[in-house]
Amino acid sequence: MVKIGIVGISGYSGGKLLERLLKHPQVKVTYISANNTEGPVAQIWPHLNGLSELVCKKYDPVQAATKADIMFLAVPHTVSMTITPELLKLGKKVIDLSGDYRLPSGEDYKTWYKTDHQDKANLKKAVYGLPELYREDIKKAQLVSNPGCYPTAALLGLLPIITAQTKDIESIAIDAKSGVSGAGRKATLALSFGEVNENFKAYKVLNHQHTPEIDLHLSKVAQKPIEVDFVPHLLPVQDGILETIYVRLSGKVTLEKIHQLYQRFYKTENFVRVLDAGQQVELNYVVGTNFCDISLAVSRSGKLLVVTCAIDNLLKGASGQAIQNMNIMCGFKETEGLL
């Protein structure tokens, strides 16, 4: 049994990690912590009452390193980069769910996260934990930077077309809609029931910090600079992301060909389902699972491809993908604990 530590147990992704890892047959959660909440699991997450005797304490690097072999960091950005260096030095493997190690450049970090990066030394060490793209690197990684929820859906929705028709891409607009848990578990008026329920809005229009992650990996795949236009929205649901992606092409495509392309591309992937032509993805199909579902449509002109993809933002978009990465790092079956 691999021994697991989770930092940030009181947030939504930390809680989801705990819930899933408690059932994972090949690991044992041996350390949990959170900064503002201490006490037994049942007090922090009453739905787990009776399922774990673990007690949550303030984060202590020595305790953590003594008790666990792999550390999941489910903490806000800016916190991960203060914890990670010591854990790496102590020889621990780290899977970071924050944004701290997603951008390889400290300058880009400052541009998008509005603060200096405190651990530039380890930025290059971090492997971007999107298994469908970087599986081989993840196997050998000591530090995995788990992708953002929006980029996970965006990249999975775009990889096949980018790979196959790089030259024809004229523009990409991503209209993303996320459930509330994506914003974390916080006491703010903006996330109160009265402001979210029966409401809907765009936010950080063309200005969201997940944008450069998408650009970066699309550009790598395309081997040329790609910039997407990204507009996120807040859905009045708890979990789930659906992205509607508008890919304008210089040449014509047919739905049939594109559908074949996507099916072949993901043929061997466990967690990407390309739906039958004509069927549309729904949040309901993926929430509670680690799947990314993808639907495709092509305009009559043949020059617009509309990709819709859906994931559970806390699973494939965060904790599920983190466990998938752990499975890969540990040589477990990639679906272990996730189906």
According to CB under 8 A, which residues from 250 to 309 bind its own copies?
273, 275, 279-289, 291, 293, 295, 297-301, 304, 306, 308
DSSP state of 237: S
- CB nearer to its own copies: give 143 or 234: 234
Q: What is d(CA 275, CA 293) in angstroms, rounded to the nearest whole number? A: 7
Is the CB of residue 273 less than 8 Å from the CB of residue 264? no
- CB nearer to its own copies: give 62 or 197: 197
Q: Measured between alpha carbons, how far is residue 256 from residues 208, 278, 294, 298, 334 in Å?
A: 33, 11, 15, 9, 30
Rule CB under 8 A: which of 43-82 touch its own copies?
A: 46-47, 49-51
Q: Which residues pair with 272 in a beta bridge?
A: 292
- Is 12 a binding residue for its own copies by CB under 8 A? The answer is yes
The SS3 call for residue 29 is strand
The two structure tokens encoding residue 278: 């004509």
- Is 201 a binding residue for its own copies by CB under 8 A? The answer is yes
| Pairing assessment for the beta strands 229-234 and 201-202 based on DSSP bridges | antiparallel
How many of the chain's residues bind its own copies (CB under 8 A)? 72
Phi, psi dihedrals of residue 45, rounded to the nearest 5°: -130, 85
- CB nearer to its own copies: give 129 or 182: 182
- Is 242 a binding residue for its own copies by CB under 8 A? The answer is yes
- Is 236 a binding residue for its own copies by CB under 8 A? The answer is yes
- CB nearer to its own copies: give 140 or 300: 300
Q: Which residues pair with 249 in a beta bridge?
A: 169
| Pairing assessment for the beta strands 39-40 and 55-56 based on DSSP bridges | antiparallel
Pick from 69, 137, 175, 336 the residue near its own copies by CB under 8 A.
175
> Which residue in the list 149, 292, 309, 330 is annotated as catalytic?
149
- Is 171 a binding residue for its own copies by CB under 8 A? The answer is yes
149 labelled catalytic: yes
Any idea which residues carry the catalytic annotation?
149
